[in-house]
Amino acid sequence: MENITMDNITVGNDTLVQDNQTLGFWTDYTVEYKVVSIFLVSLICGVGIVGNVMVILVVLTTKHMRTPTNCYLVSLAVADLMVLTAAGLPNITDALYAQWVYGYVGCLGITYLQYLGINASSCSITAFTVERYIAICHPIKAQFLCTLSRAKRIIVVVWAFTSIYCVMWLFLSDTTNIVYDNVVLVSCAYKVSRNHYLPIYFTDFAVFYVLPLMLATILYGLIARILFLNPLPSDPKENTKKWKKETCQGGRMISTSSSSSTTAASRRQVTKMLAVVVILFAFLWMPYRTLVVVNSFLDKAYLDTWFLLFCRLCIYLNSAINPVIYNAMSQKFRAAFKKLCHCGPQRMEKPASYSVALTYSVIKETSNGESPDHFTTEMDELTTPTDQFLPNSILPTANKMLFQNPSISARIA
């Protein structure tokens, strides 16, 4: 992959100053390019930074939003923030000054953060794709594999791996002077020439773009077969028979359907949302990836200024659009965003205290050693209040407790 902050980086060090030769007469960017570039980059990066910060805040501050899938989305949001700040914002100074202004340390640090954010976002997408596949296609294994604690450990491994992998860019980046007939410009470039850089690039391209997309295509195909072509596998804690429960609230009888159909619909919606994230990742990165692959086989790289801007804007848009997708396709994220912005009706974060205590007691009796954070995951997939759609294996016990203990029934009424 090429550095995505400076146009002249794609030329490669082997075409820079050699034997006191210059690169010709240098001309600054046009006013139109500067205006369009600064406006669009500022707009996309500004919206993206605010949106990703909101994703992190709503998951960290809202207890019922702390699910394995949302943990991976937080990891993706942090990675996207790195891309927007380390790759997006320096393009504003590039448009203004047409050269590198952050010095040697800035060159190393910003280049490192660019690759770290890009590679971590790819690994985070792969992680939640695998998690969705296990949760839907192997629900029994999911009881022990798709837990909150395991998701946190996987995220730590992802960031540790990408942090170590990207260290090489600290030794491959350096500031250099580009000598033109009329000016000398400072650039943040790579130390190695293009022919030495290509193996590194294609390894990075295969590991963090091609392989994740191939894996996502296969896994989402298997998920689609389960969700949309075959009945959803029943959870081992759920009864396969559909039934209706009746509960008395204020002297009025209310009937609700089985939780299994609601869980299935919710899982379909979550899977659609994550699939859209993967598809946009593939298409928005494609222009830049294709450009760099083509330039790798050309004697003279194609460096049209406007097309490079288009490619970069697609990258920044990919990092900025995910919170918009969550808001549009997830009722829970939409409600959490509204609550964070103090707009819309304020809702209680958790059900009433009696429901929490009652549910906890039933879980202790029926979990058979199951990890409690997995139960939270399954409950949080529902888009309706949890006291109306408890798992089938819990509700009969809960109803029995209500009739045997009048004091509990009185508290609920």
pLDDT tens for residues 267-278? 788 888 999 999
Query: What are the tokens at 188?
Result: 């943040």
Determine the pLDDT at residue 182.
82
pLDDT tens for residues 109-157? 999 999 999 999 999 999 999 999 999 899 898 888 899 999 999 999 9
Sign of the CA dihedral with 121 first, then 105, 24, and 91 last: positive
What is the rounded CA–CA span in Å between residue 244 and residue 22?
81
Instruction: Residue 381: name the closest of 132, 181, 213 by CA.
Output: 132
Angle at 386 between CA 335 and CA 371, to 5 degrees: 105
**Which run of H or E residues covers position 259?**
helix 259-296
DSSP structure string for 169-192: HHHHEEEEEEE-SS-EEEEEEESS
**Region for residue 220 given its phi and psi (left: phi exceeds 0; alpha: psi -120 to 50; beta: otherwise):** alpha
Determine the pLDDT at residue 238.
44
Average per-residue pLDDT for the chain:
76
3-class secondary structure, 246: strand
**Which run of H or E residues covers position 249?**
strand 245-249
Do β-strands 245-249 and 184-190 pair in parallel, antiparallel, or remain unpaired?
Answer: unpaired
What is the rounded CA–CA span in Å between residue 118 and residue 290?
16
pLDDT tens for residues 355-411? 333 333 333 333 333 334 443 443 344 333 444 444 444 444 444 444 444 443 333
Residue ranges in the chain whose pLDDT is less than 70: 1-22, 230-264, 343-413
Tell me where in the chain the CATH 1.20.1070.10 domain(s) lie: 7-246+257-340
Do residues 292 and 57 make contact, with C-beta atoms less than 8 angstroms apart? no
Query: What are the tokens at 170?
Result: 């600290």
What is the rounded CA–CA span in Å between residue 404 and residue 395?
14
Do residues 75 and 128 make contact, with C-beta atoms less than 8 angstroms apart? no
Determine the pLDDT at residue 231.
55
3-class secondary structure, 392: coil
What is the rounded CA–CA span in Å between residue 135 and residue 131?
6
Determine the pLDDT at residue 198.
82
Query: What are the tokens at 236?
Result: 């081992």
Determine the pLDDT at residue 175.
92
How many residues belong to the chain? 413
Determine the pLDDT at residue 260.
58
Determine the pLDDT at residue 403.
43
What is the rounded CA–CA span in Å between residue 374 and residue 151?
11
Interacting residues of 33 by C-beta distance below 8 A, sequence separation 6+: 95, 305, 306, 309
Angle at 319 between CA 313 and CA 323, to 5 degrees: 125
For the stretch 222-227, contacts whose Cβ atoms lie closer than 8 Å and that sit 24 or more positions apart, written own/partner, are 222/133, 222/137, 223/132, 223/133, 223/136, 223/137, 223/271, 226/136, 226/137, 227/136, 227/264, 227/267, 227/268, 227/271
Query: What are the tokens at 231?
Result: 């009945």
CB-based burial label for 317 (10 Å; 0-12, 13-18, 19+): middle
**7: which DSSP letter?**
G
Side chain identity, residue 52? N
Determine the pLDDT at residue 259.
54
Pick the CATH number of 7-246+257-340 from 1.20.1070.10, 3.40.50.10090, 3.40.50.2300, 3.40.1170.60: 1.20.1070.10
Sign of the CA dihedral with 215 first, then 217, 222, and 228 last: positive
Strand partners, 253: 248
Determine the pLDDT at residue 319.
95
